[in-house]
Amino acid sequence: MSSLVRARSRLLHLPTAATVATPLLRQLRRLSTDDSTTLTIETSVPFTGHKIEPPSRSVETTPKELFGFFRDMALMRRMEIAADSLYKAKLIRGFCHLYDGQEAVAVGMEAATTRRDCIITAYRDHCIYLARGGTLVEAFAELMGRVAGCSKGKGGSMHFYKKENGFYGGHGIVGAQVPLGCGLAFAQKYVKDEAVSFAMYGDGAANQGQLFEALNISALWDLPAILVCENNHYGMGTAEWRAAKSPAYYKRGDYVPGLKVDGMDALAVKQACRFAKEYALKNGPIILEMDTYRYHGHSMSDPGSTYRTRDEISGVRQERDPIERVRKLILAHDIASATELKDIEKEVRKEVDDAIAEAKESPMPDPSALFEHVYAKGLGAQSYGVDRHEVRAVLA
Amino acid sequence: MALRRAGRRLNFLRLLTTSASRSILSPSEKKPMTMNLFSAINNALHIALDTDPRAYVFGEDVSFGGVFRCTSGLVDTFGKERVFNTPLCEQIVNEAAKFRYRSGNQFNCGGLTIRCPYGAVGHGGHYHSQSPEAFFCHVPGLKVVIPRGPEQAKGLLLACIRDPNPIVFFEPKWLYRLAVEEVPHEDYMLPLSQAEVIREGDDITLVGWGAQISVMEQACLDAEKDGVSCELIDLRTLIPWDKETVEASVRKTGRLLVSHEAPLTGGFGAEVCASIVERCFLRLEAPVTRVCGLDTPFPLVFEPFYMPTKNKILDAIKATVNY
């Protein structure tokens, strides 16, 4: 049901029945949400380069792309807020790390890459999963530990994967995904894929030793690895100035060039990722530091206000919110009206609600799934339940 | 610290044929060769790379042949695209073991086999004598395999490489040059998760693995002179381990002794003993016993005191039999 609504709206640009009878002028404007004429827009701030000439501030985009950014980010924002409610309702258990505020990084990166490029990230992965073609139902089902989830309910919030779309997850161990990401870049170079790997990590993980080990080898072997530091300025509850001697994470690669990017500006992210991809294919690794912000705390157990002020959070929301930025651009360029954008948000809300309802229908995995995929199938090893006299399963 | 290599297959859908014995030479050349452990392992790696074009070896110093010579000649035969040096960045427990499980079978590290030298060498000291197998045995998702000699090593290593699960393969470095056996020339595999009864007996079951097996064999011979008939079992695969074979043996003998170089407390012997007591409680004639390394960091000059020697095993056999 929800996918049908979405398809309809994309094709016909009729968010609600209320817009059927409209003046000609509005109809003309509505058509341009599908428009591919080039617009050139300046990023909020220029890029800062470390040992590299930064790309231009002027980004080419289209009304269609901007509209897509708005819709995708609104969907991501709505998904994360809904996840917050579900967690408080105890339908989602365990750990849940929300991405709202950082949506621009996910959509900007997706706009600059193909599905043959690999993306690997840490545990704040819900929105990147969506950007890489994951569905809402699979996301919510996985969060609630249901069988319809993308990892069959076995992974949970931190372990979303989409193999066919080049999304390598979803990792709980801080920083471990960076050596894995460099390994992906190695594989791409080995098979001459002409694609790159984006290994994402946070400002907290940026001080990890394994990151520098992986970076060293990536630079030595000229691997097409792009290390993306999503600097939301807090590693759990520790502000960057308390954690790092040098919080200029784009410079931490030393001999590896870096770029500092406004991570709340989807167009800046897109420009930087496209630039980085071109660079990495020819020259080896590069670091992108996305200056971004998360509105929620580190996870659902963290109120997020004991180590930063509410004024700071609302200040960023007012001045730098990624969705508001794109909304203003769309309105300024007359691509859609304020009402239409509000309608999109309503539609998105409904889509999310429908997906949650569908995900709730999915059952929990069968207890036998506990023992599945510990080892590859068919190599019969036995395991016992807590009550060793009664539960006995063959490890699949 | 442990050196490491890996032979990796990208195709995790390939099925195992445990009884395969593919010959890569003409029939007239199929006679066994006298080989030591590192040569047998080298031979196994050659066969693995030869039979699967998607297999490759990477790790510390594999290119020049490795400090223990296990990978010598590989790069000359198969090229530097398939045999190359890499640094270490251990992700075994948190990533390799759990990838298949947590991604709902979308991803896996099934083609990975990690080879590491382990065990005492007489003078290794704290870090070059350790037996860390128990740490890896505690990780569901990994398999741990330990050969006792060249002929076993070749067959087990080929089985490990072709097994669709991540496996840690421990090689007793003491035996790299010291152990010399007749090793068949052809491509053969030995089954994983199957223990081998090396010596049959009626009075007591001895269980061990790796280099310790030869020490236990000596103890068995000495015990026989005193009229004690010992059954010796080599576990070969530590996880998942062959409980059935050990249980059948203890049902026959009624007594169990486990011996390993690793320290006593928390060693894998504890798992074997606990499982056997659960299964064979009423059959046991004496408490199960473990003859292991001491609960100390592995000493340098005190190595002879630390090691579970033949005499310590003999004492334990006698005490158990006379209980």
Q: How far apart are the C-alpha atoms of A94 and A26, rounded to whole Å?
A: 47
Q: Tell me the chain B residues in contact with residue A366 when contact means C-beta distances shorter than 8 Å.
A: none
Kindly tell me if the per-residue pLDDT of A257 is higher than 90: yes
Mean pLDDT across chain A: 90
Looking at the DSSP bridge assignments, the partners of residue A395 are A381
- Asked if A388's CB is within 8 angstroms of B278's CB, the reply is yes
Q: Which of A138, A161, A223, A375 to mutate to test the interface with B (most CBs of B within 10 A)?
A: A375
Kindly tell me if the per-residue pLDDT of A314 is higher than 50: yes
Q: Is B85 on the interface with A (CB under 8 A)?
A: no
Confidence at A369, pLDDT banded by 50, 70, 90: confident
Kindly tell me if the per-residue pLDDT of A390 is higher than 50: no
Q: Give the nearest chain B residue to A173 (CA atoms).
A: B94
Q: What is the pLDDT of residue A393?
A: 52
CB pairs under 8 A between A and B: 84
Q: Give the nearest chain A residue to B87 (CA atoms).
A: A217
Q: Report which of B126, B100, B121 is spatially closest to residue B111, judged by C-alpha positions.
A: B100
Kindly tell me if the per-residue pLDDT of A396 is higher than 70: no
In this prediction, residues A205-211 reach a mean pLDDT of: 96
Q: Tell me the chain B residues in contact with residue A121 when contact means C-beta distances shorter than 8 Å.
A: none
Q: Tell me the chain A residues in contact with residue B86 when contact means C-beta distances shorter than 8 Å.
A: 217
Tokens describing residue A350 = 């409904």
Q: Tell me the chain A residues in contact with residue B15 when contact means C-beta distances shorter than 8 Å.
A: 378
At A259-277, the pLDDT tens digits run 999 999 999 999 999 999 9
Q: What is the pLDDT of residue A43?
A: 95
Distances (CA, A) of A9 to A16, A141, A169, A355: 9, 25, 30, 17
pTM: 0.86
Q: Is B126 on the interface with A (CB under 8 A)?
A: no
Q: How far apart are the C-alpha atoms of A4 and A26, rounded to whole Å?
A: 25
Q: What is the pLDDT of residue A164?
A: 96
Q: What is the pLDDT of residue A384?
A: 55
Q: Tell me the chain A residues in contact with residue B164 when contact means C-beta distances shorter than 8 Å.
A: 376, 379
Kindly tell me if the per-residue pLDDT of A172 is higher than 90: yes
Kindly tell me if the per-residue pLDDT of B318 is higher than 80: yes
Q: What is the pLDDT of residue A27?
A: 45
Q: Is A184 left (phi over 0), alpha (psi -120 to 50) or beta?
A: alpha
Q: Give the nearest chain B residue to A174 (CA atoms).
A: B94
**Is the peptide bond between B110 and the residue preceding it cis, with omega within 30 degrees of 0?**
no
Q: Which of A150, A210, A388 sits opposite B89 (nearest CB)?
A: A210
**Are B188 and B155 in contact, with CB atoms under 8 Å apart?**
yes
Tell me the percentage of chain A whose pLDDT exceeds 90. Answer: 83
Q: Is B9 on the interface with A (CB under 8 A)?
A: no
- Asked if A179's CB is within 8 angstroms of B193's CB, the reply is no
In this prediction, residues A145-153 reach a mean pLDDT of: 96
At A63-97, the pLDDT tens digits run 999 999 999 999 999 999 999 999 999 999 999 99
**Are A119 and A198 in contact, with CB atoms under 8 Å apart?**
yes
At B217-248, the pLDDT tens digits run 999 999 999 999 999 999 999 999 999 999 99
Q: Which of B91, B94, B107 sits opposite A161 (nearest CB)?
A: B107
In this prediction, residues B44-48 reach a mean pLDDT of: 97
Kindly tell me if the per-residue pLDDT of A110 is higher than 80: yes
In this prediction, residues A104-112 reach a mean pLDDT of: 98
Distances (CA, A) of A15 to A27, A234, A344: 13, 38, 6
Confidence at A33, pLDDT banded by 50, 70, 90: confident
Confidence at A21, pLDDT banded by 50, 70, 90: very low
Crossing angle of helices A266-283 and A322-332, in 10° steps, is: 110
- Asked if B95's CB is within 8 angstroms of A376's CB, the reply is no
Q: Tell me the chain B residues in contact with residue A388 when contact means C-beta distances shorter than 8 Å.
A: 278
Q: How far apart are the C-alpha atoms of A298 and A236, rounded to whole Å?
A: 5
Kindly tell me if the per-residue pLDDT of B1 is higher than 90: no
Looking at the DSSP bridge assignments, the partners of residue B172 are B118
Q: What is the pLDDT of residue A212?
A: 97
- Asked if A152's CB is within 8 angstroms of B163's CB, the reply is no
Q: Which of B95, B110, B278 sits opposite A180 (nearest CB)?
A: B95
Q: What is the pLDDT of residue A377?
A: 62
The strand ranges marked E within chain B are 5-8, 33-36, 56-59, 83-85, 112-118, 143-145, 167-172, 180-183, 196-199, 204-208, 230-234, 237-239, 256-263, 289-293
Of B21 and A181, the one with more pLDDT:
A181
At B273-304, the pLDDT tens digits run 999 999 999 999 999 999 999 999 999 999 99
Kindly tell me if the per-residue pLDDT of A116 is higher than 70: yes
Q: Give residue ranges of A with CB < 8 Å to any B CB.
A: 149-155, 159, 161-163, 168-171, 173, 176, 179-180, 190, 210, 213-214, 217, 372-376, 378-379, 381-383, 388, 395
Q: What is the pLDDT of residue B88?
A: 80
- Asked if A154's CB is within 8 angstroms of B102's CB, the reply is yes
Q: What is the pLDDT of residue A383?
A: 56
Q: Give the nearest chain B residue to A191 (CA atoms).
A: B81
Catalytic residue numbers of B, as ranges:
90, 128
The torsion angle over the Cα atoms of residues A120, A126, A130 and A135, rounded to 10 degrees, is: 120
Confidence at B250, pLDDT banded by 50, 70, 90: very high
Confidence at B31, pLDDT banded by 50, 70, 90: confident
Q: What is the pLDDT of residue A371?
A: 80
Q: Give the nearest chain A residue to B95 (CA atoms).
A: A176
Q: Tell me the chain A residues in contact with residue B106 when contact means C-beta distances shorter than 8 Å.
A: 151, 161-163
Confidence at A24, pLDDT banded by 50, 70, 90: very low
- Asked if B103's CB is within 8 angstroms of A170's CB, the reply is yes
Q: Which of A373, A382, A387, A392 to mutate to test the interface with B (most CBs of B within 10 A)?
A: A373
Q: Give the nearest chain B residue to A153 (CA atoms).
A: B104
Q: Which of B103, B237, B244 to mutate to test the interface with A (most CBs of A within 10 A)?
A: B103
In this prediction, residues A217-235 reach a mean pLDDT of: 97
Interface list for B 144-163 with A (CB within 8 A)? 163
- Asked if A161's CB is within 8 angstroms of B108's CB, the reply is no
In this prediction, residues B63-77 reach a mean pLDDT of: 94
- Asked if B87's CB is within 8 angstroms of A375's CB, the reply is no
Confidence at A283, pLDDT banded by 50, 70, 90: very high
Kindly tell me if the per-residue pLDDT of A14 is higher than 50: no
